[in-house]
Protein backbone atom coordinates (compact mmCIF):
# COMPACT_ATOMS: atom_id res chain seq x y z
CA UNK A 1 0.00 0.00 0.00
CA UNK A 2 1.52 3.31 -1.11
CA UNK A 3 0.66 6.20 1.18
CA UNK A 4 0.50 9.85 0.25
CA UNK A 5 3.15 12.09 1.77
CA UNK A 6 2.19 14.89 4.14
CA UNK A 7 2.57 17.37 1.28
CA UNK A 8 0.55 15.29 -1.20
CA UNK A 9 -2.26 14.80 1.31
CA UNK A 10 -2.12 18.49 2.20
CA UNK A 11 -3.50 19.43 -1.21
CA UNK A 12 -6.58 17.28 -0.53
CA UNK A 13 -7.03 18.84 2.89
CA UNK A 14 -6.69 22.40 1.60
CA UNK A 15 -9.26 21.65 -1.10
CA UNK A 16 -11.61 20.26 1.55
CA UNK A 17 -11.37 23.53 3.49
CA UNK A 18 -13.16 25.56 0.79
CA UNK A 19 -15.94 24.08 -1.38
CA UNK A 20 -15.36 26.80 -4.01
CA UNK A 21 -11.82 25.80 -4.95
CA UNK A 22 -10.41 23.00 -7.05
CA UNK A 23 -6.76 22.11 -6.47
CA UNK A 24 -6.18 20.79 -9.97
CA UNK A 25 -3.30 21.80 -12.17
CA UNK A 26 -3.25 21.42 -15.92
CA UNK A 27 -1.92 22.21 -19.34
CA UNK A 28 -3.21 23.15 -22.77
CA UNK A 29 -1.37 21.62 -25.73
CA UNK A 30 -2.11 23.22 -29.11
CA UNK A 31 -1.35 21.12 -32.19
CA UNK A 32 -1.38 21.42 -35.95
CA UNK A 33 -4.38 19.85 -37.68
CA UNK A 34 -6.20 17.93 -38.66
CA UNK A 35 -7.61 16.76 -35.34
CA UNK A 36 -7.76 12.98 -34.83
CA UNK A 37 -11.11 11.27 -34.68
CA UNK A 38 -12.24 10.33 -31.21
CA UNK A 39 -11.50 6.64 -31.72
CA UNK A 40 -7.85 7.37 -32.56
CA UNK A 41 -7.64 9.79 -29.64
CA UNK A 42 -9.04 7.19 -27.25
CA UNK A 43 -6.96 4.31 -28.52
CA UNK A 44 -3.58 6.01 -28.78
CA UNK A 45 -3.49 8.88 -26.29
CA UNK A 46 -5.87 7.19 -23.87
CA UNK A 47 -3.68 4.10 -23.92
CA UNK A 48 -0.53 6.13 -23.30
CA UNK A 49 -2.06 7.92 -20.33
CA UNK A 50 -3.52 4.75 -18.88
CA UNK A 51 -0.08 3.15 -18.97
CA UNK A 52 1.00 5.43 -16.10
CA UNK A 53 0.35 3.48 -12.86
CA UNK A 54 -0.71 6.56 -10.87
CA UNK A 55 -3.40 7.39 -13.44
CA UNK A 56 -4.96 3.97 -12.80
CA UNK A 57 -5.29 4.58 -9.07
CA UNK A 58 -7.81 6.26 -6.78
CA UNK A 59 -7.05 7.93 -3.50
CA UNK A 60 -8.52 6.32 -0.39
CA UNK A 61 -8.89 8.36 2.79
CA UNK A 62 -9.56 7.28 6.36
CA UNK A 63 -12.11 8.57 8.89
CA UNK A 64 -10.87 11.51 10.99
CA UNK A 65 -7.50 11.38 9.16
CA UNK A 66 -6.36 8.70 11.60
CA UNK A 67 -4.13 7.26 8.85
CA UNK A 68 -2.56 8.81 5.75
CA UNK A 69 -4.54 8.47 2.50
CA UNK A 70 -3.23 5.78 0.17
CA UNK A 71 -3.32 4.95 -3.53
CA UNK A 72 -5.40 1.95 -4.61
CA UNK A 73 -5.55 0.35 -8.04
CA UNK A 74 -8.91 0.39 -9.81
CA UNK A 75 -10.24 -2.94 -11.07
CA UNK A 76 -10.86 -1.50 -14.53
CA UNK A 77 -10.05 1.99 -15.76
CA UNK A 78 -13.13 3.62 -17.30
CA UNK A 79 -11.61 5.75 -20.07
CA UNK A 80 -15.08 7.05 -20.89
CA UNK A 81 -15.00 8.98 -17.62
CA UNK A 82 -11.56 10.48 -18.20
CA UNK A 83 -11.46 11.20 -21.94
CA UNK A 84 -13.77 13.95 -23.19
CA UNK A 85 -14.46 15.65 -26.52
CA UNK A 86 -15.63 19.21 -27.14
CA UNK A 87 -15.64 21.77 -29.96
CA UNK A 88 -15.01 25.48 -29.62
CA UNK A 89 -17.61 27.92 -30.91
CA UNK A 90 -16.57 30.05 -33.89
CA UNK A 91 -14.17 31.67 -34.53
CA UNK A 92 -12.15 29.31 -32.32
CA UNK A 93 -9.66 31.92 -31.15
CA UNK A 94 -7.88 32.54 -27.86
CA UNK A 95 -10.99 34.02 -26.23
CA UNK A 96 -13.06 30.90 -26.89
CA UNK A 97 -10.23 28.57 -25.85
CA UNK A 98 -9.53 30.47 -22.64
CA UNK A 99 -13.23 30.43 -21.70
CA UNK A 100 -13.26 26.66 -22.14
CA UNK A 101 -10.11 26.24 -20.04
CA UNK A 102 -11.76 28.27 -17.27
CA UNK A 103 -14.88 26.08 -17.31
CA UNK A 104 -12.91 22.83 -17.25
CA UNK A 105 -10.39 23.75 -14.54
CA UNK A 106 -12.93 25.28 -12.13
CA UNK A 107 -14.80 21.98 -11.67
CA UNK A 108 -13.51 19.59 -9.05
CA UNK A 109 -12.25 16.16 -9.97
CA UNK A 110 -14.36 13.26 -8.68
CA UNK A 111 -12.37 11.41 -6.00
CA UNK A 112 -14.27 8.21 -6.73
CA UNK A 113 -12.13 7.95 -9.88
CA UNK A 114 -8.44 8.41 -10.70
CA UNK A 115 -7.77 12.14 -10.41
CA UNK A 116 -7.32 13.22 -14.02
CA UNK A 117 -9.12 14.19 -17.23
CA UNK A 118 -8.01 14.71 -20.82
CA UNK A 119 -10.10 16.76 -23.25
CA UNK A 120 -9.87 16.69 -27.06
CA UNK A 121 -10.74 20.20 -28.24
CA UNK A 122 -11.71 20.69 -31.87
CA UNK A 123 -12.55 23.83 -33.83
CA UNK A 124 -9.49 25.98 -33.13
CA UNK A 125 -8.68 28.62 -35.74
CA UNK A 126 -6.14 27.83 -38.49
CA UNK A 127 -7.19 24.15 -38.57
CA UNK A 128 -5.63 23.47 -35.18
CA UNK A 129 -6.83 21.43 -32.22
CA UNK A 130 -5.88 21.11 -28.57
CA UNK A 131 -5.56 18.79 -25.61
CA UNK A 132 -6.49 20.01 -22.14
CA UNK A 133 -5.08 17.79 -19.40
CA UNK A 134 -6.30 18.24 -15.83
CA UNK A 135 -4.58 16.55 -12.88
CA UNK A 136 -5.06 16.89 -9.14
CA UNK A 137 -2.14 18.50 -7.33
CA UNK A 138 -2.12 15.59 -4.86
CA UNK A 139 -0.92 13.38 -7.73
CA UNK A 140 2.06 15.44 -8.84
CA UNK A 141 3.81 18.80 -8.76
CA UNK A 142 4.56 20.74 -11.93
CA UNK A 143 7.86 19.01 -12.73
CA UNK A 144 6.61 15.44 -12.25
CA UNK A 145 3.31 16.22 -14.00
CA UNK A 146 5.22 17.51 -17.03
CA UNK A 147 7.32 14.34 -17.05
CA UNK A 148 4.17 12.23 -16.79
CA UNK A 149 2.50 14.05 -19.69
CA UNK A 150 5.62 13.54 -21.83
CA UNK A 151 4.37 9.98 -22.32
CA UNK A 152 1.80 11.43 -24.74
CA UNK A 153 4.57 12.40 -27.18
CA UNK A 154 5.35 10.25 -30.20
CA UNK A 155 8.97 10.01 -29.00
CA UNK A 156 7.83 8.28 -25.77
CA UNK A 157 8.92 11.24 -23.67
CA UNK A 158 12.63 10.98 -24.52
CA UNK A 159 12.93 14.59 -25.72
CA UNK A 160 15.13 16.62 -23.37
CA UNK A 161 13.48 18.92 -20.86
CA UNK A 162 14.58 22.14 -19.29
CA UNK A 163 14.25 20.17 -16.02
CA UNK A 164 17.63 18.62 -16.72
CA UNK A 165 19.14 22.05 -16.16
CA UNK A 166 17.39 22.84 -12.88
CA UNK A 167 19.86 23.77 -10.15
CA UNK A 168 18.12 21.36 -7.78
CA UNK A 169 18.46 18.54 -10.31
CA UNK A 170 22.23 18.92 -10.45
CA UNK A 171 23.33 20.05 -7.01
CA UNK A 172 22.39 19.06 -3.52
CA UNK A 173 23.43 21.70 -1.06
CA UNK A 174 23.58 19.12 1.72
CA UNK A 175 24.53 15.74 0.26
CA UNK A 176 23.82 12.70 2.38
CA UNK A 177 25.89 12.92 5.52
CA UNK A 178 26.38 9.17 5.56
CA UNK A 179 28.00 9.33 2.12
CA UNK A 180 30.96 11.12 3.72
CA UNK A 181 32.00 8.08 5.77
CA UNK A 182 35.16 6.41 4.51
CA UNK A 183 35.81 2.67 4.79
CA UNK A 184 39.26 3.45 6.21
CA UNK A 185 39.12 3.33 10.05
CA UNK A 186 41.81 6.02 10.18
CA UNK A 187 39.33 8.45 8.63
CA UNK A 188 36.47 7.71 11.03
CA UNK A 189 37.40 10.40 13.53
CA UNK A 190 37.44 13.06 10.83
CA UNK A 191 34.20 11.72 9.38
CA UNK A 192 32.48 11.86 12.78
CA UNK A 193 33.51 15.51 13.13
CA UNK A 194 32.24 16.31 9.62
CA UNK A 195 28.97 14.52 10.31
CA UNK A 196 28.31 16.48 13.48
CA UNK A 197 29.35 19.77 11.86
CA UNK A 198 27.20 19.08 8.80
CA UNK A 199 24.19 18.17 10.93
CA UNK A 200 24.64 21.32 13.00
CA UNK A 201 24.90 23.47 9.87
CA UNK A 202 21.77 21.88 8.41
CA UNK A 203 19.87 22.41 11.66
CA UNK A 204 20.92 26.07 11.85
CA UNK A 205 19.90 26.70 8.25
CA UNK A 206 16.55 24.96 8.80
CA UNK A 207 15.81 27.01 11.91
CA UNK A 208 16.88 30.26 10.23
CA UNK A 209 14.77 29.53 7.15
CA UNK A 210 11.77 28.48 9.25
CA UNK A 211 11.93 31.68 11.27
CA UNK A 212 12.07 33.70 8.05
CA UNK A 213 9.06 31.87 6.55
CA UNK A 214 6.96 32.23 9.70
CA UNK A 215 7.91 35.90 9.98
CA UNK A 216 6.90 36.55 6.38
CA UNK A 217 3.57 34.78 6.86
CA UNK A 218 2.52 36.57 10.05
CA UNK A 219 3.87 40.05 9.24
CA UNK A 220 0.91 42.44 8.76
CA UNK A 221 0.17 43.21 5.11
CA UNK A 222 -1.89 46.01 3.56
CA UNK A 223 -5.38 45.35 2.27
CA UNK A 224 -5.31 44.23 -1.35
CA UNK A 225 -7.87 43.27 -3.97
CA UNK A 226 -5.49 40.44 -4.90
CA UNK A 227 -6.23 38.60 -1.66
CA UNK A 228 -9.66 37.60 -0.40
CA UNK A 229 -12.47 35.08 -0.65
CA UNK A 230 -12.85 33.44 -4.06
CA UNK A 231 -15.94 32.24 -5.86
CA UNK A 232 -16.37 29.02 -7.82
CA UNK A 233 -15.83 30.50 -11.32
CA UNK A 234 -12.49 31.20 -13.00
CA UNK A 235 -10.91 33.32 -15.74
CA UNK A 236 -7.90 32.16 -17.74
CA UNK A 237 -5.40 34.04 -19.90
CA UNK A 238 -2.03 33.18 -21.43
CA UNK A 239 0.78 35.12 -23.06
CA UNK A 240 3.92 33.86 -24.83
CA UNK A 241 7.31 35.56 -25.00
CA UNK A 242 10.55 34.42 -26.70
CA UNK A 243 12.94 32.49 -24.48
CA UNK A 244 15.79 34.14 -26.40
CA UNK A 245 14.65 37.53 -25.08
CA UNK A 246 14.50 36.27 -21.49
CA UNK A 247 18.02 34.86 -21.76
CA UNK A 248 19.42 38.00 -23.37
CA UNK A 249 17.90 40.19 -20.67
CA UNK A 250 19.21 37.92 -17.91
CA UNK A 251 22.71 38.02 -19.40
CA UNK A 252 22.70 41.79 -19.89
CA UNK A 253 21.64 42.59 -16.33
CA UNK A 254 23.43 39.76 -14.45
CA UNK A 255 20.12 38.18 -13.46
CA UNK A 256 18.68 34.69 -13.65
CA UNK A 257 16.03 33.44 -16.06
CA UNK A 258 13.52 33.35 -13.19
CA UNK A 259 14.43 36.89 -12.10
CA UNK A 260 13.44 38.20 -15.53
CA UNK A 261 10.21 36.19 -15.60
CA UNK A 262 9.26 37.43 -12.11
CA UNK A 263 10.03 41.03 -13.11
CA UNK A 264 7.53 40.66 -15.95
CA UNK A 265 4.94 39.24 -13.54
CA UNK A 266 5.64 42.12 -11.15
CA UNK A 267 4.99 44.69 -13.87
CA UNK A 268 1.74 42.96 -14.78
CA UNK A 269 0.51 42.97 -11.20
CA UNK A 270 1.41 46.66 -10.90
CA UNK A 271 -0.76 47.54 -13.91
CA UNK A 272 -3.71 45.71 -12.35
CA UNK A 273 -3.30 47.48 -9.01
CA UNK A 274 -3.01 50.92 -10.63
CA UNK A 275 -6.10 50.26 -12.74
CA UNK A 276 -8.02 49.46 -9.55
CA UNK A 277 -6.99 52.69 -7.89
CA UNK A 278 -4.66 51.00 -5.42
CA UNK A 279 -1.29 52.49 -4.48
CA UNK A 280 1.34 49.77 -4.85
CA UNK A 281 3.52 49.68 -1.72
CA UNK A 282 6.82 47.93 -1.03
CA UNK A 283 4.92 45.35 1.07
CA UNK A 284 1.84 45.01 -1.16
CA UNK A 285 2.67 41.77 -2.94
CA UNK A 286 4.24 38.96 -0.96
CA UNK A 287 4.29 36.07 -3.39
CA UNK A 288 4.39 32.31 -2.90
CA UNK A 289 7.06 30.83 -5.17
CA UNK A 290 7.23 27.01 -5.14
CA UNK A 291 10.79 25.73 -5.54
CA UNK A 292 11.59 22.24 -6.79
CA UNK A 293 13.72 20.09 -4.49
CA UNK A 294 13.49 17.12 -6.84
CA UNK A 295 16.69 15.45 -8.05
CA UNK A 296 17.18 13.79 -11.42
CA UNK A 297 16.58 10.29 -10.05
CA UNK A 298 13.02 11.27 -9.11
CA UNK A 299 11.99 13.27 -12.19
CA UNK A 300 9.56 10.53 -13.21
CA UNK A 301 8.15 9.86 -9.74
CA UNK A 302 4.55 11.15 -9.43
CA UNK A 303 4.42 13.12 -6.19
CA UNK A 304 5.15 16.59 -4.78
CA UNK A 305 8.72 17.58 -3.93
CA UNK A 306 8.65 21.32 -3.52
CA UNK A 307 9.63 23.88 -0.96
CA UNK A 308 8.84 27.59 -1.08
CA UNK A 309 10.11 31.13 -0.95
CA UNK A 310 8.04 34.19 -0.01
CA UNK A 311 9.67 37.29 -1.53
CA UNK A 312 8.00 40.66 -1.91
CA UNK A 313 7.58 41.61 -5.56
CA UNK A 314 8.55 45.30 -6.02
CA UNK A 315 5.25 46.55 -7.43
CA UNK A 316 6.00 49.97 -5.94
CA UNK A 317 8.70 50.57 -8.55
CA UNK A 318 7.63 52.06 -11.86
CA UNK A 319 9.75 50.48 -14.59
CA UNK A 320 10.49 46.85 -15.46
CA UNK A 321 14.25 47.56 -15.22
CA UNK A 322 13.94 48.93 -11.67
CA UNK A 323 11.79 45.94 -10.77
CA UNK A 324 14.31 43.50 -12.26
CA UNK A 325 17.30 44.98 -10.43
CA UNK A 326 15.45 44.92 -7.12
CA UNK A 327 14.16 41.38 -7.69
CA UNK A 328 17.68 40.19 -8.47
CA UNK A 329 18.84 41.32 -5.02
CA UNK A 330 15.76 40.02 -3.21
CA UNK A 331 15.86 36.60 -4.83
CA UNK A 332 19.54 36.18 -3.99
CA UNK A 333 18.76 37.12 -0.41
CA UNK A 334 15.77 34.74 -0.30
CA UNK A 335 17.87 31.87 -1.65
CA UNK A 336 20.54 32.45 1.01
CA UNK A 337 17.98 32.76 3.82
CA UNK A 338 17.44 29.01 4.08
CA UNK A 339 13.73 29.18 3.20
CA UNK A 340 13.95 26.52 0.51
CA UNK A 341 15.91 24.14 2.74
CA UNK A 342 13.64 24.83 5.71
CA UNK A 343 10.46 24.01 3.83
CA UNK A 344 11.87 20.75 2.49
CA UNK A 345 13.32 19.69 5.85
CA UNK A 346 10.15 20.50 7.79
CA UNK A 347 8.10 18.36 5.40
CA UNK A 348 10.66 15.56 5.68
CA UNK A 349 10.50 15.67 9.50
CA UNK A 350 6.69 15.63 9.39
CA UNK A 351 6.73 12.60 7.10
CA UNK A 352 9.20 10.70 9.26
CA UNK A 353 8.38 11.57 12.84
CA UNK A 354 5.03 13.33 13.37
CA UNK A 355 1.73 11.45 13.73
CA UNK A 356 -0.29 11.91 10.55
CA UNK A 357 -3.49 12.98 12.37
CA UNK A 358 -1.56 15.88 13.92
CA UNK A 359 -0.28 17.16 10.57
CA UNK A 360 -3.64 16.64 8.83
CA UNK A 361 -5.67 18.40 11.51
CA UNK A 362 -3.16 21.26 11.54
CA UNK A 363 -3.36 21.72 7.76
CA UNK A 364 -7.15 21.65 7.84
CA UNK A 365 -7.30 24.20 10.68
CA UNK A 366 -4.73 26.58 9.20
CA UNK A 367 -6.24 26.46 5.70
CA UNK A 368 -9.57 27.61 7.10
CA UNK A 369 -8.05 30.74 8.62
CA UNK A 370 -8.36 33.98 6.57
CA UNK A 371 -4.81 34.16 5.23
CA UNK A 372 -4.04 37.82 4.34
CA UNK A 373 -0.26 38.03 4.05
CA UNK A 374 0.34 36.32 0.71
CA UNK A 375 -1.26 37.94 -2.33
CA UNK A 376 0.35 36.20 -5.31
CA UNK A 377 1.48 32.84 -6.68
CA UNK A 378 4.20 32.43 -9.33
CA UNK A 379 5.56 29.04 -10.36
CA UNK A 380 7.93 28.07 -13.17
CA UNK A 381 7.73 24.61 -14.77
CA UNK A 382 10.34 23.36 -17.28
CA UNK A 383 9.04 21.82 -20.48
CA UNK A 384 10.53 20.22 -23.61
CA UNK A 385 13.49 22.06 -25.13
CA UNK A 386 12.55 20.99 -28.66
CA UNK A 387 9.29 20.76 -30.55
CA UNK A 388 7.51 17.45 -30.00
CA UNK A 389 4.83 15.55 -31.89
CA UNK A 390 1.66 13.75 -30.86
CA UNK A 391 -0.25 11.45 -33.17
CA UNK A 392 2.01 12.59 -35.98
CA UNK A 393 1.08 16.27 -35.46
CA UNK A 394 3.48 19.00 -34.36
CA UNK A 395 2.84 20.58 -30.97
CA UNK A 396 2.66 24.33 -31.60
CA UNK A 397 2.38 25.58 -28.03
CA UNK A 398 2.00 24.46 -24.42
CA UNK A 399 0.13 26.60 -21.89
CA UNK A 400 0.26 25.95 -18.12
CA UNK A 401 -2.71 26.16 -15.75
CA UNK A 402 -1.89 26.94 -12.08
CA UNK A 403 -4.10 26.17 -9.06
CA UNK A 404 -5.96 28.66 -6.85
CA UNK A 405 -6.67 28.35 -3.12
CA UNK A 406 -6.18 29.93 0.33
CA UNK A 407 -7.61 33.34 -0.68
CA UNK A 408 -5.19 33.83 -3.58
CA UNK A 409 -7.26 35.38 -6.35
CA UNK A 410 -4.63 35.15 -9.11
CA UNK A 411 -2.04 32.47 -9.86
CA UNK A 412 0.64 32.60 -12.55
CA UNK A 413 2.42 29.54 -13.95
CA UNK A 414 5.30 29.72 -16.44
CA UNK A 415 6.09 26.87 -18.82
CA UNK A 416 9.08 26.67 -21.17
CA UNK A 417 8.50 24.94 -24.50
CA UNK A 418 10.91 25.00 -27.46
CA UNK A 419 11.50 28.72 -28.20
CA UNK A 420 8.79 30.22 -25.98
CA UNK A 421 8.05 30.89 -22.33
CA UNK A 422 4.30 30.91 -21.72
CA UNK A 423 2.68 32.61 -18.76
CA UNK A 424 -0.62 30.93 -17.86
CA UNK A 425 -2.83 33.01 -15.57
CA UNK A 426 -5.77 31.61 -13.59
CA UNK A 427 -7.94 33.99 -11.59
CA UNK A 428 -11.11 34.21 -9.58
CA UNK A 429 -13.82 35.33 -11.99
CA UNK A 430 -15.72 37.85 -9.89
CA UNK A 431 -12.75 39.80 -8.51
CA UNK A 432 -10.66 40.01 -11.71
CA UNK A 433 -12.64 41.47 -14.63
CA UNK A 434 -9.45 43.29 -15.71
CA UNK A 435 -7.24 40.19 -16.01
CA UNK A 436 -6.17 41.16 -19.54
CA UNK A 437 -4.12 43.99 -17.99
CA UNK A 438 -1.93 41.46 -16.18
CA UNK A 439 -1.22 39.54 -19.39
CA UNK A 440 -0.54 42.74 -21.32
CA UNK A 441 1.75 44.01 -18.54
CA UNK A 442 3.82 40.82 -18.64
CA UNK A 443 4.25 41.03 -22.41
CA UNK A 444 5.09 44.74 -22.40
CA UNK A 445 7.65 44.30 -19.60
CA UNK A 446 9.61 41.69 -21.55
CA UNK A 447 9.47 43.84 -24.69
CA UNK A 448 10.64 46.91 -22.76
CA UNK A 449 13.56 45.06 -21.17
CA UNK A 450 14.54 43.48 -24.49
CA UNK A 451 14.81 46.93 -26.07
CA UNK A 452 17.38 47.89 -23.44
CA UNK A 453 19.69 44.95 -24.10
Residue 151, pLDDT > 50, answer yes
Catalytic entry in 137, 165, 170, 251: 137
Mean of pLDDT values over 275-291: 94
Could you give all domains of the chain from N- to C-terminal order, each with its CATH number? Answer: 2-169 (3.30.559.10), 209-451 (3.30.559.30)
State residue 196's pLDDT score. 58
Q: Return the pLDDT at 203.
A: 54
| Average pLDDT estimate for 379-405 | 94
Q: How many CB atoms lie within 10 A of CB 67?
A: 15
pLDDT digits (tens, 9 = 90+) for 162-182: 454 444 333 444 444 444 445
The percentage of the chain sitting over the pLDDT mark of 70, rounded to a whole number, equals 86
Each residue's pLDDT tens digit, 307-327: 888 999 999 999 999 999 999
The overall average pLDDT reported for the chain is 87
pLDDT in tens, 84-116: 999 999 999 999 999 999 999 999 999 999 999
| Predicted local distance difference test score (pLDDT) of residue 296 | 82
Once rounded to an integer, what is the mean pLDDT over residues 219-246? Answer: 93
Q: In terms of pLDDT, which residue wins out, 360 or 205?
A: 360
Q: What is the pLDDT of residue 169?
A: 38
Helix (H, G, I), strand (E, B) or coil at 66: coil
Contact 66, 357 (CB under 8 A): yes
d(CA 400, CA 417): 10
What's the confidence (pLDDT) of residue 179? 45
Instruction: Taking residues 113-140, report their average pLDDT.
Output: 96
pLDDT at 189 over 70: no
CA 240 to CA 217: how far, in whole Å? 32
List, for residues 245-280, the tens digit of each pLDDT value: 999 999 999 999 999 999 999 999 999 999 999 999
| Beta carbons of 127 and 142 less than 8 angstroms apart | no
Residue 349 predicted with pLDDT over 70:
yes
Percent helix, strand and coil across the chain, each rounded to 5? 45, 20, 35
- The candidate with the shortest Cα–Cα distance to 151, out of 80, 236, 56, 45, is 45
Mean pLDDT of 18-41: 95
Q: Which residue has the higher pLDDT, 20 or 164?
A: 20
pLDDT band at 440 (very low <50, low <70, confident <90, very high): very high
Whether the per-residue pLDDT at 59 is higher than 60: the answer is yes
**What pLDDT score does 346 carry?**
80
Give catalytic status of residue 137 as yes or no. yes
pLDDT given for residue 225 in this prediction: 95
Round to whole Å and give the CA distance between 164 and 162: 5
At 150 the pLDDT is 87
Residue 217 CA: distances (Å) to CA of 22, 206, 221, 266, 396: 23, 16, 9, 20, 40
Report the pLDDT value the prediction gives residue 200, as an integer from 0 to 100: 54
| pLDDT tops 60 at residue 392 | yes
Report the C-alpha gap between 296 and 163 in whole angstroms: 8
Predicted pLDDT of residue 180:
47
Q: What is the pLDDT of residue 34?
A: 94
| Residue 213: predicted pLDDT | 52
pLDDT above 80 for 205: no
CA dist 54 → 4, 140, 422 (Å):
12, 10, 27
pLDDT band at 335 (very low <50, low <70, confident <90, very high): confident
> What is the pLDDT averaged over residues 56-82?
94
Amino acid sequence: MERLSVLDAGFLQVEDSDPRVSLAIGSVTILEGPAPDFEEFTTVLGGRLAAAPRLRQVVRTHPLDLEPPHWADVDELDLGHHLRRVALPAPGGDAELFDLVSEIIERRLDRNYPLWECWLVEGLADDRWALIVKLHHAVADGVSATAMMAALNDDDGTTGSFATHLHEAHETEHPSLLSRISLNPLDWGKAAWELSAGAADLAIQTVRGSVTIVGDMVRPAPESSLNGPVGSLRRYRAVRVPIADIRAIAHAFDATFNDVALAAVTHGYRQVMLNRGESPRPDSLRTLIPVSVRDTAALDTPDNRVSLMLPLLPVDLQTPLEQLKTLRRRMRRAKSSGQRQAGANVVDVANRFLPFPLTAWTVRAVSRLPQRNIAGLATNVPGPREQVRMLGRTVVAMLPIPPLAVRLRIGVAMLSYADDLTFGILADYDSNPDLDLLAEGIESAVADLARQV
